[in-house]
Amino acid sequence: MPPDTYLSAILAVHRARAAADRRDLDDLVARAQRAPATRPFAPPLSAPAGDPLAVIAEVKRRSPSKGVIDADLDPGRAAADYEAGGAACVSVLTDIEHFGGSPADLGAARAACSLPVLRKDFTVCAADVCDARLMGADAVLLIVAALSDDELLGLRTLAEELSLDAVVEVHDQAELGRALDAGADIVGVNQRDLTTFAVDRDRALALAAHIPPEVVAVAESGIDGPDDAFRLADAGYQAVLVGESLVRAADRRAAVRALTGHRVGVRRRAHEVTG
């Protein structure tokens, strides 16, 4: 797949599926509202300054840019190892076509641990939010670059109504503004450009000071080990979302534990940085 078509190609698949979905949305919402209670996702990430860095450890079989990461990955075993290593939450890819994930992976991971679980996928419609709740997720991913302002607000509001936390993903300051306008209380800064899939490890550092202190700040992608994680913690991030390096680790428990061994720095407001 040519690199400049990653995001558009993935979204085309998800939007086509949403357009073909003939299920009754009112029924989906009602069923989601009756689903078993969720595990709160935000509190384990909301560490005050001085607490260890929170790790959202990801179950990820493959990616469009890296190909196969672990074709034989056991989601339940990985989640149990992540919890034993001190992870705060688990993230599970459920996109089938591009990441090799599935709702079954999420169910297996959640059943194997007591941690809250994020459905990591390309959420484009209300049915996607309901499906996340029905498959057992505790949080849903909303990618600002994939949604209009009305969609972003509507899906975040629906998630809240269904007792799901929403991780609102951004890539630059304009998207951060849109996320905050939509009421995001967990912001994930993805250092991977979803158009080219290239990683910019300075992206999260540049945005850190612009995330209000009351918003949980999560850094995503391009985190290959403790040095990367500690650099982000020093910038004020309360959590990191790490996938590939943990999946590939020979000892996943030890790999998670190494990422948590840093003290969180104090995130400063932009005006305090710029003077």
Tell me the angle at which helices 149-161 and 173-181 cross, rounded to the nearest 10 degrees: 50
Catalytic residue among 63, 83, 175, 221: 221
58 given a catalytic annotation: yes
Per the CB < 8 A criterion, the answer to whether 38 and 58 are in contact is: no
Q: CA–CA separation, 100 vs 125, rounded Å?
A: 21
221 given a catalytic annotation: yes
β-pair partners for 190: 220
Closest CA to 238 of 54, 13, 26, 7: 54
161 given a catalytic annotation: no
214 given a catalytic annotation: no
Q: For residue 214, count CB atoms less than 10 angstroms from its CB and return exposed for 0-12, middle for 13-18, buried for 19 or more.
A: exposed
Q: CA–CA separation, 57 vs 43, rounded Å?
A: 16
Per the CB < 8 A criterion, the answer to whether 195 and 169 are in contact is: no
Per the CB < 8 A criterion, the answer to whether 179 and 230 are in contact is: no
Catalytic residue among 63, 220, 244, 245: 220
Token pair belonging to 135: 């498959």
Per the CB < 8 A criterion, the answer to whether 122 and 14 are in contact is: yes
220 given a catalytic annotation: yes
Q: CA–CA separation, 104 vs 2, rounded Å?
A: 30
Catalytic residue among 83, 91, 169, 175: 169
* Maximum separation of any 2 CA atoms in the chain, in Å: 54
Catalytic residue among 91, 190, 244, 245: 190
Token pair belonging to 190: 């993805």
Q: Which residues are catalytic?
A: 58, 60, 120, 169, 190, 220-221
